[in-house]
Amino acid sequence: MEDNNPPGTEEQRSVGSEAYIALGANVGNREQLLRDALNLLEKHPEISVLRVSSIYETAPVGYTDQPAFLNMAAALRTTLSPMQLLHAMQAMENQLGRKRDIRWGPRTIDLDLLLYEQVILPDEELTLPHPRMMERAFVLVPLGDVLQNEHTLYKQVTAIAQRALQDRGEGIALWNTINWQDASAHSVS
């Protein structure tokens, strides 16, 4: 029998919209918090986690007197609108103990919506694409792992990411790699 279907499940290739998010954590068990966030996203009935980046340890930017971050990125497929997805991500931040005290300060988990299909949204609550993503190596290095070659931003993002990874001054180092396909449990312990 011949298989003429493109790779991936029907859900992965056509239902809903593709979105890219950035994840960060610098308080508590940082790697576990990233994994918990991915599992919460996957558990949501209208979100599927398609691909995950490596995890990078990154020097804090903006407010520098705080612990190092673990940062990563993920490609999602979702039937939620951009604003619904943002609100779902904020609920997950709260569920994972996010407290909002110091601006740019330490956080158990930070989930940022970077891209949603080709949507351009100049809303005060949600700006798409994320207005500062192209200036932040701790976003672009992991994003380069999950963007597909065909994406309109692939060349630009991976060019900046390669330079940042080679330049030790950017303070970004590979920490660990998650094999999402083989992470069959996908459960929050």
Q: Which stretch binds ligand X6L (CB under 6 A): 44-52, 56-64, 122-130, 178-186?
A: 56-64
Binder among 112, 114, 138, 170 for Mg ion (CB under 5 A): 112
- The residue among 17 and 165 lying less far from ligand X6L, judged by its C-beta, is 165
Site for ligand X6L in 83-112 (CB under 6 A): 104, 110
CA distance 127 to 144: 20
**String of DSSP letters for 30-58:** HHHHHHHHHHHHHHSTTEEEEEE--EEEE
Contact region for ligand X6L (CB under 6 A) — 32-40, 53-61, 144-152, 179-187?
Answer: 53-61
| Active-site pick, 107, 123, 136, 163 | 107
Q: In a 10 Å sphere around its CB, with 0-12 CB exposed, 13-18 middle and 19+ buried, how is residue 28 labelled?
A: middle
Closest CB 9 distance from ligand X6L, rounded Å: 31
- DSSP readout, 62-129? SS-SSPPEEEEEEEEEESS-HHHHHHHHHHHHHHTT----STT---S-EEEEEEETT--EE-SS-EES
User: Active site includes 98?
Assistant: yes
Nearer to Mg ion, 57 or 112 (CB): 112
Q: How far is CA 74 from the centre of its chain?
A: 4
Tell the smallest beta-carbon distance from residue 100 to ligand X6L (Å).
Answer: 12
* Binding string, residues 153-182; x marks residues near ligand X6L by CB under 6 A: ------------------------------
Answer yes or no whether residue 93 interacts with Mg ion by CB under 5 A. no
- 53 scored as a contact of ligand X6L (CB under 6 A): no
Comparing C-alpha atoms, which of 43, 56, 45 is closest to residue 143? 56
Q: Which does 112 bind (CB under 5 to 8 A by kind): Mg ion, ligand X6L, none?
A: Mg ion
Distance CA 150, CA 131 (A): 22
